[in-house]
Structure formats: C-alpha cells, structure tokens
Amino acid sequence: MARNPRTVALLALLTAVTLGVAACSSEGGKQEEESTNSGNAGVADTPRLTIAMVTHEVPGDTFWDLIRKGAEAAAAKDNVELKYSNNAEAPEQANLVQNAIDSKVDGIAVTLAKPDAMKDVVAKATAAKIPVVAFNAGVDNWKSMGVLQFFGQAESVAGEAVGQRLAQEGAKKVLCVIQEQGHVALEARCAGVKKGFGSAGTVENLNVNSKDMPSVKSTITAKLQQDKSVDHVVALGAPIALTAVDAGKDAGSAAKVVTFDTNKELVNSIKSDGVKWAVDQQPYLQGYLAIDSLWLYLTNGNTIGGGQTVYTGPSFVDKSNIDAIAEYANRGTR
C-alpha cells in the first residue's frame, strides 16, 4: 500500500534531526509524566508550551513505549513540556482529558479507542479553545468529533490487506484474537481480515483479556487444542502474538502466527521464524507527529493532511525486509 506523501516528507525531516529522548516508565492507571527539555541543543526558540498526551495504554504493552518515545522526541525538539497520562478504561481516560482541560494546557493529543466515551470531553476541550489532535485509534470518528488532525492507519483497510495475504498464502481457518472487547480499532481489524479473506475460508474471533497474559495463553492454547483445523492465528498486538506462539507449542498446533504491530521481541521472533510476519503502523511516528503537529499549529497556524487522515501505515514486515528495521527496533524506535 502506498504511503501518504506527507508522511514520507515528515519522515525525511525526522531523520534529519538529532534528538535526545528522555527515558520513561509507566505503571498505567492515572500515572502522569513530565518531560522537561530546557537547555538542550537544537531546541526550538518558540515560547514554552504545555501539551497533554492522553492514551488508552494497557500497562505492559510495549507498543506504547514507542508512542511515548516519539512524543518525547518531538517535545524535546519543540520546547514543549509533555504531560503524558493513560488509562485503559474509557471513562477514566475521559477524566484524564478533563484534568488536562482544567490545568489549561496549550494542546491535547488523544487516542479515541472508544469514541462514544470520549466525545463529550473532547467537545469540552474544543469549547475551551484547546486544539485537539487524535492518533492511533479513532480514524473513523475524529472528524465528527471536531478534532483537528489524525495520525494512524485505517484499521479496516489494514485488516483487509491481512486477509488478502492470508488467502494468497493458502490459509483456510483463521483465528483473530481480540484483546479488548469494545475497542473500535481492534474490532475493525478483525472485520477487515474477514472481508479481505473472502471465500478463501473462515475467520473466527476469539476474545481475550490482555490485562491477564497467563489467561490469554491458556485461552488460546485451549482453542487450538479444541480446533485442530485452525491453521493461522492473527494477533492484534506484539505481546499477544508472542504469547500465541507459545500457546501453539503447548497445544501441539501447527497454526502459524501473524500479527499487527511490532516491538523488539517481535522483530527477533520474525527473524527466528516464530511469528511469520507483521503489519507495522509506525507507533513512534504517530507519537512524534501528534506532538509536532500541535506545536506547528500553536506556533505557526499549520495543519497537516489537508483535512484528511495522515496515514502512518500499514506496511508488511517479514523476513524479506526485517533487517531494514531491526536496528531501529533494537534501539526502541520501531
């Protein structure tokens, strides 16, 4: 799938800048972090801004480490104080956005995994004249919610591409593992897989709880033991994929594992032929663009994308191209 030209241009700009990325850690919930960047070489001389990033991060999912690193890199360059907070429960995530509004931040970057729970508080932010951008989740909802810009991938399109590839590779029975019920992006992925797979065979969804990884493993293991006709497992995140590989071994299943999203361990698994391939949406880039776009808007009135989604994916990662991104994965930016 061709990559958005604007994204390519921004990638070129990104690689031209040397950035110091502040280390961070998260325990989830209502934890809030601040990055201070005064005194760094190469920091923008624009007025100091405060931007809140509020996500639906699930503690322990390394995908969000990449989001945060990208956001911190942009904040370091743009003379931005970054306030990061997260909660996987939609009502609590909405409360965190309200906290950001109450503290009178200059801008808000937010994920919209459950848009219905977020629409009222996003409306409050825009009513308070605080610019809001969305990223990662909410590609079908951001415009109707009055959000300025969106950075991510069209999940249904990515799912269709996965389904088509599985059909081409001869799959017949596919298990699509959803780690959070009600998450619009995850459900769109599996729906897309089914659509792309077409008449090649059957796609069955399996709901698990990513907050309890031993339970995820036992649920997948039991399913693969019960149904030996499953020849492919589609995971919707790297930790789930790696767990599915172990579950397949325990179940004595020959099912191949493919996945959405990557991390360092996932890249190594592709190299060792554990996970066969992955769909990459470039989470580091999503975090970077979310913060950088707000800085551009607040300091120069710029918007990116011409009112359309700025796509950061999807692209396939497999043995044919894994070496091209392995270096970046090992340093924690892909």
Does 104 share its domain with 28?
yes
Any domain includes 215: yes
Quick one: average pLDDT of 20-35? 40
The answer on pLDDT for 32 being more than 70 is no
Higher pLDDT: 27 or 40? It is 40
55/133 same-domain check: yes
- Average of per-residue pLDDT across 163-175: 98
Instruction: Specify if 318 maps to a domain.
Output: no
Same structural domain, 138 and 26: yes
Domain count, the chain: 2
- pLDDT reading at 13 higher than 70: no
Cα distance between the two ends of the chain: 19
If pLDDT is split at 50, 70 and 90, which confidence band does 21 have?
A: very low
Pick the closest to residue 153 from 2, 304, 318 (CA basis).
2
Residues 6+ apart with CB under 8 A from 158: 189, 192, 260, 279, 281, 313, 314
Instruction: With respect to residue 28, please indicate whether it lies within any of the assigned structural domains.
Output: yes
Instruction: Quote the percentage of the chain above a pLDDT of 70.
Output: 88
> Do 228 and 292 reside in the same domain of the chain?
no
The domain in which residue 106 lies consists of 5-153+282-313
- What is the amino acid identity at position 197? F
Are residues 41 and 63 located together in one domain of the fold? Answer: yes
Please check whether residue 323 lies inside any domain of the structure.
no
pLDDT for 9 beyond 80? no
| Res 330: pLDDT | 86
Q: What is the pLDDT of residue 37?
A: 42
- Flag whether pLDDT at 108 surpasses 50: yes
Longest dimension (CA), the chain: 62
Q: Are residues 11 and 146 in the same domain?
A: yes
Residues 13 and 143 in one domain: yes
pLDDT at 42: 78
Residue 210 lies in a domain: yes
Both 16 and 74 in one domain: the answer is: yes
pLDDT at position 7: 41
- 20 plus 132 within the same structural domain: yes
64 and 77 housed in the same domain: yes
Please check whether residue 327 lies inside any domain of the structure: no
- CATH number, residue 185: 3.40.50.2300
Tell me the CA distances in angstroms from 273 to 269, 318, 322, one per residue in order.
6, 9, 11
Tens-digit pLDDT profile for residues 41-90:
578 999 999 999 999 998 878 899 999 999 999 999 999 999 999 999 99
| 266 and 202 fall within a common domain | yes
